[in-house]
Amino acid sequence: AQRVTQPEKLLSVFKGAPVELKCNYSYSGSPELFWYVQYSRQRLQLLLRHISRESIKGFTADLNKGETSFHLKKPFAQEEDSAMYYCALLNTGGFKTIFGAGTRLFVKA
């Protein structure tokens, strides 16, 4: 079964501390993986995708097929990073995007 698991519902870190939001997936093929973010009172929006291999707002995510993980990392968290983060999987050749339950990141001053 296709599944995306985000084990932490809430993650609280201090400003300047490193942050890692965990994501594990279950998929038999070659998935495309994404991180979406929803800031307070804003719409859900794409943060980054694994095929782009880019760093957005200081965040990076590496696909680890051996561990079936796609953790989101940032070396120094900022207060403006406080938001809800969703990991998502798109099945190759399909159009169905499967989202995790989300992790709320709270960055304390």
Partner 1 sequence: GAGVSQSPSNKVTEKGKDVELRCDPISGHTALYWYRQSLGQGLEFLIYFQGNSAPDKSGLPSDRFSAERTGGSVSTLTIQRTQQEDSAVYLCASSLYGNSETQYFGPGTRLLVL
Number of other residues whose CB lies within 10 A of the CB of residue 23: 27
Does position 51 bind partner 1 by CB under 8 A?
Answer: yes
- The CA distances from residue 37 to 34, 46, 76, in Å, are 10, 6, 17
32 counts as binding partner 1 under rule CB under 8 A: yes
Compute CA distances 74 → 15, 26, 55, 71, 101, whole Å. 11, 24, 9, 10, 20
37 binds partner 1 (CB under 8 A): no
For partner 1, the closer of residues 11 and 15 by Cβ is 11
Q: Does 69 bind partner 1 (CB under 8 A)?
A: no
Binding site for partner 1 (CB under 8 A): 4, 6, 9, 32, 43-46, 49, 51, 86, 88, 90, 93-102
